[in-house]
Amino acid sequence: MTRDERRPLLESFGRAPALLSAVLRELPKKMWLYKPSPERWSIHEIIVHLADSEASSYVRCRHLIAEPGKAVPEFDPARWAGTLGYFHQSTREALELIRRLRKMNYNLLVTLPEPVWLHTLQHPEEGEISLEKWIERQERHIPHHIEQIKSNYDAWIGTHPPRKPATRSERPNPPSRLMSLSAEAC
């Protein structure tokens, strides 16, 4: 992949936290804990997962650049979600962590010389993976979860239809008691 071919990928990678925040601003916070089914994550859990994943990715990115060829530890999202008490963690802090770590990785990646993109490491599930392949995978991660968030919202709205707005009564307004009192006083 050439630098020009990589540029849109890196730009998409760098924009992903802003896209996530934009989608979340459109959703009512009261539905962030809604789980479409017991085995699916809530939006709250997705956000905290993304923070954990971004922290893991931050370290893997640096291993790829500074220590190519090394093996990296496995990141088991389901185990982390089940044992780290995602329900009790702050989504605000998780979103800030996602934003900061992604920005730091983006700022580093756009400055790398071409030979570094061929560096590899030993990925626990995928075997040898290059920095180029890693960025392709990471670029899709947040958008994948944005689609999952939208799916959660669609499921939630199906079980919580919006209320119809209140309508005003067509009765004429009764005369104000205050007006009649002021007329009597004259």
pLDDT digits 0-9 by tens, 96-109: 999 999 999 999 99
Q: Which residues contact 141 (CB under 8 A, 6 or more apart)?
A: 16, 50, 53, 57
DSSP 40: S
Structural domains present in the chain? 3-161 (1.20.120.450)
> Rounded to two decimals, what is the model's pTM?
0.83
Q: What is the pLDDT of residues 145-166, one digit of tens each?
A: 999 999 999 999 988 777 777 6
Residue 34 in this model has a pLDDT that exceeds 90: yes
Query: Would the CA dihedral through 135, 137, 141, 143 be positive or negative?
Result: positive
Q: Is the pLDDT of residue 89 over 50?
A: yes
> Of all residues in the chain, what percent carry a pLDDT higher than 90?
67
